[in-house]
Amino acid sequence: MLVLFETPAGFALFKVLDEGKLNKVEDISKEFLAADTARKVVSLKAFSKFENTAEALEAATKLLESTPSKGLRKFLRSHCDGETLGVYDSKLGNAIKEKLKIECVHNNAVMELLRGVRSQLTELISGLGAQDLAPMSLGLSHSLSRYKLKFSADKVDTMIVQAIGLLDDLDKELNTYAMRIREWYGWHFPELTKIIQDNILYAKTVKLMGDRANAANLDFSEVLPDEVETELKEAAVISMGTEVNDLDLMNIKELCDQVISLAEYRAQLYDYLKSRMNTVAPNLTALVGELVGARLIAHGGSLMNLAKQPGSTVQILGAEKALFRALKTKHSTPKYGLIYHASLVGQAAPKHKGKISRSLAAKAALAIRCDALGDDQDNSMGVENRLKLEARLRALEGKELGRSAGSAKGKPKIEVYDKDRKKGSGLITPAKTYNPAADSLLGQTPNSTAADEQDTVPKKKKKVLLDLVKF
């Protein structure tokens, strides 16, 4: 029986001298306490040395994938004819058995044997000292780490995480600087704040104009529309702001340059993020957009971590504080988190946002798994699911409109308001007519009139009148 052992210097094949000792697994470690006893258990049969670091890196990466490299296959063919090979990985053993037709063994006895060989490696392989083995191990580990970082699919989305974080920071800085320009320049030209609402246009206008007295002689057509330019020039003539000197204007213009340069870099960064998202997560981008998709990936840590989350978690991702507060106070849990900023949720009516966010989160979870684990690099799945969600949103809106119009459950019933009219047979009771004889008082005595009036008084009023008379 042979045992395959990997070292930073190359592959080694050890011959097991006494296979009977493998029957007692607990006693194998005792045989490798000393070099003399270890040589009685195994002996070096062959050694395949790596020519350079690139070959060692290739062999190590293949072993991580449980597949034999080209050099290892050639080495085993020449030394393992008719022998049983002990390996440390069962998947590697299956691959060797399938490709090279060599019987492989992987059990506890082989693992204990390899552990013992590792402890006495420098004694069993002549010419391989500890002072040489340590630098080899360190160099190979560094090369392997760089290789994994370069070619690992999980590390591609780290660029997206950093880009969306920088984009949010730029938005905060731009807002802070723009508000500072408005406040600073507002002392000189306060009316300009209401005339120009956009921060970038405001900074460009201030940089071009400088002192408000120059507005009448300048052409703002490249920056502002004609009607805004006319309003600006009219306001500059009657402005009630204070005067500023050239040094103040110079510092304000430098701040405007900072805002304009940051805005240009922000546009470039957004284009970079958009291309990255369309490459790494095209289906997720088609469903929720570049910014929301990037924030979901950043909040999850990576695309692979996000793919492990169910749709219910994706729905409230970003609203953890509200969720735990609701669970603690026993109130209703939030319906959406970062997904609230998606265009599909924004299009929905307030009463439909919960339903659309739940459906969108379920479809987004499928799209994330397709992007992370699928082989296709197109966004057909995301586009198809988006069309389904838009149809569902239209169905919800149409259902509510039909229900409010009374067409949801059959035709509305028409009530019969003239209850005195019988179907097809005229009136149930005759119509009341005015009796003019009731207005006449001729032929009536005062006593009879008083008696009639007394009869018309209710019984309770009669009793009250009698009590007053007795009193």
Is 404's pLDDT higher than 80? no
The stretch 425-438 carries a mean pLDDT of 58
Bridge-based pairing of strands 10-16 and 42-49 is antiparallel
- Inter-residue contact 44 to 2 (CB < 8 Å): no
Distance CA 233, CA 189 (A): 11
The stretch 350-379 carries a mean pLDDT of 89
15 SS3 class:
strand
Distance CA 48, CA 82 (A): 19
Distance CA 150, CA 132 (A): 28
pLDDT confidence band for 390 (50 / 70 / 90): very high
pTM for the model stands at 0.57
In 281-342, which ranges are continuous DSSP H helix? 282-288, 290-300, 303-307, 311-315, 320-329
pLDDT confidence band for 409 (50 / 70 / 90): very low
Distance CA 255, CA 177 (A): 7
Q: Which of 21-30, 193-202, 304-313, 323-332 has the lowest mean pLDDT?
A: 21-30
Conformational region of residue 240, where left means phi above 0, alpha means psi within -120 to 50, and beta covers everything else: alpha
pLDDT confidence band for 405 (50 / 70 / 90): very low
Could you say which DSSP state residue 431 is in? P
Radius of gyration of the chain from its Cα atoms, rounded to whole angstroms: 44
Tokens 């029957």 belong to residue: 23
Domains of the chain: 2-149 (3.30.420.220), 154-273 (1.10.287.4070), 281-403 (1.10.246.90)
- Inter-residue contact 243 to 191 (CB < 8 Å): no
The stretch 291-314 carries a mean pLDDT of 92
Distance CA 465, CA 360 (A): 78
The stretch 85-95 carries a mean pLDDT of 84
Distance CA 183, CA 136 (A): 63
Distance CA 206, CA 144 (A): 55
Is 242's pLDDT higher than 60? yes
251 SS3 class:
helix
